[in-house]
Amino acid sequence: MKHLIDPTDLTVEETQEIIDLALDIIANRAKYSEKCKGKKLATLFYEPSTRTRLSFTAAMMELGGNVLGFADAASSSVSKGETVRDTVRVVENFADIIAMRHHIEGAQLAATEVSRVPIINAGDGSHAHPTQTLTDLLTITRELGRLDNLTIGFCGDLRFGRTVHSLIKAMSRQKGIKIVLIAPPQLRLPDYIKQDVCDRLGLEYKEVDTLEEAMPELDVLYMTRVQKERFLDEDEYEAVKDSFVLDCDKMKLAKEKMAVLHPLPRVNEILEEVDADPRAAYFRQVENGKFVRMALISSLLDWKDDPKHEMPVEEEVEVPDNLRCENKKCITRNEKSPRRAYRASDGSLRCRYCDHKFK
């Protein structure tokens, strides 16, 4: 059975299959109106969301299926202390597929260990957001006609931005990709992405200090919000919150054919004056999110019993008894959980649930 926890759970071919299916859904909406008739999607959202939860809901409705779930964990038995694994053991009796967002990193991977139905990661803490990545890939395809030979600028909160982490992983599997990282020192890309994705896979990247110096070479500018909710210290947030603001003057430095993406919500990192620029693709990106989630739900249900579409087999490394994951937001630090590890390219032991080191 195939779950989607990390973008690399899908092979490059499966990813392309989903994008192609989304393009066909866009061209032939009526053909898919009963594709998931009689099926149910559960949306379990332990963290706020507008786009992801509503687009999953709209996607299943447009496929002729039904949706149940919760948008606020406080209204579920989670508030009584029920674990993620137990919640999934319950919900799998009511639904054919589950989309889950959680502030605890690795919660969805833990869910796959007990689930009899496909689990989709709709965002786990600062870690990963693979359905946003599918949305981004479909948007880049529709805006620029290709996914290879692109220079992509990532701007803003590259430290906590799970959409950035997931998209870099996905783009590292395409040919001819260069990335430009634009972030204040406090919000730079985590080392595990630099080492295990960029360095190990030979993805060309550079770090620059200003948007102005990056703009002329970009095919895609991926703007992100500085995520107040991830900061432990409000002063630290205040110091960086307005580091980079995209306005019409900066857009004048960009190529005529380029695309500005943003997973949204925005705060003030893109001025509203940019919205009218034809290169501003972020509201078209939202609609693409619904189409690609239609393609994903449909594919995971079709693939459920197909041995060709299994999860990648990963080598597990034993964790010494005296070590634990360093990440306080990891599932292993918040619920009773086994410790699972892999060996990273720098030789360090990394947590399978959240990619942080053990200490």
266 or 352: CB nearest ligand CP: 266
Which among 40, 30, 94, 38 has a CA at the least distance from the CA of 62?
A: 30
Stretch in the footprint of ligand CP (CB under 6 A) among 82-90, 92-100, 259-267, 343-351: 259-267
Q: How far apart are the first and last CA of the chain?
A: 33
Q: What residues have CB less than 8 Å from 39, skipping those under 6 apart?
A: 60, 63, 65, 66, 96, 97, 301
Residue nearer to ligand CP on the CB measure, 50 or 210: 50
Q: CA 143 to CA 306: how far, in whole Å?
A: 33
Return the range that interacts with ligand CP (CB under 6 A); candidates 87-95, 181-189, 257-265, 305-313.
257-265
345 binds ligand CP (CB under 6 A): no
As given in the structure block, the two tokens for residue 359 are: 């200490």
Q: Does 263 bind ligand CP (CB under 6 A)?
A: yes
Task: Compare residues 65 and 123 and give the one whose CB is closer to ligand CP.
Answer: 123
Q: Which window, 29-37, 107-115, 261-269, 316-324, contacts ligand CP (CB under 6 A)?
A: 261-269
Least distance from C-beta 168 to ligand CP, angstroms? 16
Least distance from ligand CP to the Cβ atom of residue 116, Å: 26
Please name which of 328, 319, 312 lies closest in space to residue 349, comparing C-alpha atoms. 319
Q: Which residue has the tokens 């299994």?
A: 310
Question: CB of 126 within 8 A of CB of 161?
Answer: yes
* Interaction residues for ligand CP, span 23-62 (CB under 6 A): 49-52
Closer of 83 and 163 to ligand CP (Cβ) = 163
- Alpha-carbon span 107 to 116, nearest angstrom: 16
> Could you give the string, one character per residue 121-160, with x where binding to ligand CP holds by CB under 6 A and - elsewhere?
--x--------x----------------------------
Q: What is the phi/psi pair of residue 214, to 5°? A: -85, -35
> Using CB under 6 A as the criterion, which residues of the chain lie in contact with ligand CP when the complex forms?
49-52, 123, 132, 263-265
